[in-house]
Amino acid sequence: MRLTNKKIQETVGLLDSIIEKYKEDKIEKKRDWRTYEQRFAYRSQTIFKELKPLIYEATSNIKIIKFEQKGSKPLLTLEQKVLALLLKHLIDKSNRDMSAMIVLFSWLSGISISYKTIERLYSDEQVILVLHNLNQLMLKKKEIKKADCSGDGTGYSLSIKTHYASEAQKLKDKAKQNYSNKGYKKIKTVYSFALMDIKSKMYLGFGSSLKSEKEAYYNAFNMVKETGISIRSIRLDRYYSFPSVVNFLSNSFGEINFFLIPKKNSTLKGSFKWKQMLSSFVENTPNFLNEYYKRNYSEGGFSEDKKRTGWKVGQKREDRIDTSIRLTGIWHNLYNL
């Protein structure tokens, strides 16, 4: 069969009916909640047993050059800083709440710190470096070399709170004035993108952006490059169904099998890899869809992430927002280790 633009657009036009037939033929497995809860409890126990040794290993290769500094000596070691930030993110506490909880922990550790110390950890370069090492270490332990991937984006609400009553009142008054303005946005969003290895459910890379999902997507793939893991196949939603995306990923990662649903106006104009994907879509649509819908693992991953660590980001500065998204990705990988 000769592939034409008309044939591509006809297949896309029939997609709804093809998908309905696909859903009818596909048998959905019901989740065994008892088994799921048992596995979840086991995973949690395993994580908390391995967390401190993993953090120790992630910090062991970092050499800190000490210069003569003014001011008081840090109360927390680098390992304690990373552990405090990870736990704070997991239990979804504010900086003030977490500092209060560390006072309780001080009965055992002798450490008492302020909420400002917790806040500064989000932009601490040494902490961020350890988080990077920690994620690389987990991927290495899973021995992922070639991955069949699923990628997707999501958004998190930015919840920014002030701690002074007068300032809060000013913001309320300003909000009332701006509420009637047509261009006013009540909720700001941070975009996040994550690329998942379908077999292990681990994130190979994740990125964030205050500008667009596309920028978060590029940040995530830059992170994937650092892992040295090659991509065997990839599934992305229609937002990324362009020849330019196929070219970018092929040039960056080499030979990849693509499963992207073409847009209604898609044509043969593009690289050989783009044409090859369109041919597979038209000639073997059910099998193509079977591969494409493995992208649901990404949606399920985001759902777990938000249940685990929340759907709001409480940080104010852009670099600290990025660290918050990074922490969510690390907890996701810890639970799939």
Q: How confident is the model at residue 4, as a pLDDT? A: 85
Helical axes 272-283 vs 243-253, angle rounded to 10° = 120
Q: What is the pLDDT of residues 45-83, one digit of tens each?
A: 777 788 888 999 999 877 665 555 555 667 788 898 998
Q: Domain map of the chain by residue range?
A: 5-30+145-315
Mean pLDDT for 141-148 is 94
Q: What is the pLDDT of residues 258-317, one digit of tens each?
A: 999 999 888 899 899 999 999 999 998 889 999 999 999 999 999 999 988 888 898 889
Concatenated DSSP letters of 244-284 = HHHHHHHHHHSS-EEEEPPPTT--S-S-HHHHHHHHHHHHT
Task: Tell which wins on pLDDT, 111 or 200.
Answer: 200
Q: How confident is the model at residue 163, as a pLDDT? A: 36
Both structure tokens of 118: 């917790």
E strand or H helix at 231 = strand 230-236
Residues 13, 106: Cα–Cα separation, whole Å: 64
**Quick one: what percent of the chain has pLDDT higher than 70?**
75
**Quick one: what percent of the chain has pLDDT higher than 90?**
45
pTM: 0.81
